[in-house]
A and B are shown apart, each in its own frame.
Chain A
Amino acid sequence: EAQVTQNPRYLITVTGKKLTVTCSQNMNHEYMSWYRQDPGLGLRQIYYSMNVEVTDKGDVPEGYKVSRKEKRNFPLILESPSPNQTSLYFCASSGLAGGRSTDTQYFGPGTRLTVL
């Protein structure tokens, strides 16, 4: 089954304690992206990757890191989480059309993060 998986699904942590949210896709997609979803703000892109070892900032990258060492995996790293990073996080992947990520994006089930 074609899917994007994220782990963990729920996480409660404390300020400053480093954490990693994993994301994996089995569709051989080049493009992967992380979004955060907050009430009234919709989905905002944090980071994206067009291929292995190619990553770039989205609209709200501050406080986050990513890596793309393998095509299928795109972990999101919070080195020193703060309460304003409490949010619902989604990983997504898609193929590339003409070098642009305009194909259908497939979303993971989400990770609800609470930073105390």
Chain B
Amino acid sequence: GENVEQHPSTLSVQEGDSAVIKCTYSDSASNYFPWYKQELGKGPQLIIDIRSNVGEKKDQRIAVTLNKTAKHFSLHITETQPEDSAVYFCAASTDKLIFGTGTRLQVFP
């Protein structure tokens, strides 16, 4: 079955810097790659997603890239702000979502 690895498990950055979170997946049939943000005391919320026919997608300060050959996908957050502090989960899907183990991002003012 699908396996998703996510790195790093924790990431600390200064406000205004960029943050990058990386994931790898095992099942080459996976075709949908969402990213979820989980704020303290809340459920995960979708922030961006990408499908396998697209290499990159951007939404304001957030971008996701996909390398199907290497089975890697990454989340890029530019100009980080304290409100970006949260746990981020990647996931990969064929017929169901398999989540990574999460990255705790801390943005220091």
| B is bound to A | yes
Residues on A facing B (Cβ under 8 Å): 4, 35, 40-45, 48, 58, 90, 92, 100-102, 104-105, 107-110
| Count of CB-CB pairs between chains A and B under 8 Å | 52
Instruction: Give every chain A residue within 8 A of B34 (Cβ-Cβ).
Output: 104-105
Q: What is the size category of the interface that chain B forms with chain A?
A: 20 to 34
Listed A/B pairs (13) with beta-carbon separation below 8 Å: A4-B43, A42-B6, A42-B89, A43-B44, A100-B96, A101-B93, A102-B31, A104-B34, A104-B46, A105-B46, A105-B97, A107-B43, A110-B42
* Contact status A42-B43, CB under 8 Å: no
Indicate if B45 sits at the interface (CB-CB under 8 A): yes
Q: Which of B61-109 contact A (CB under 8 A)?
A: 89, 93-97, 99-102
With CB as the reference atom, state the residue of chain B lying closest to A94: B97
Can you add 5 more A-B contacts, CB < 8 Å, to A43-B99, A48-B96, A92-B43?
A35-B99, A42-B6, A90-B44, A105-B34, A105-B97
* Contact status B43-A90, CB under 8 Å: yes
What is the CA–CA distance of A107 and B38 in the complex, to the nearest angstrom? 10
Instruction: Give every chain A residue within 8 A of B89 (Cβ-Cβ).
Output: 42-43
* Contact status B96-A42, CB under 8 Å: no
Which of the residues B31, B41, B45, B100 comes within 8 Å of A42, measured between beta carbons?
Answer: B100
With CB as the reference atom, state the residue of chain A lying closest to B102: A42
Q: Given A42-B6, A42-B101, A42-B102, is A101 in contact with B44 using a C-beta cutoff of 8 Å?
A: no
With CB as the reference atom, state the residue of chain B lying closest to A103: B32
Among B6, B31, B44, B99, which residue has the most Cβ atoms of chain A within 10 A?
B44
What is the CA–CA distance of A92 and B6 in the complex, to the nearest angstrom? 21
Among B41, B46, B97, B100, which residue has the most Cβ atoms of chain A within 10 A?
B97
* Contact status A100-B43, CB under 8 Å: no
With CB as the reference atom, state the residue of chain B lying closest to A45: B96
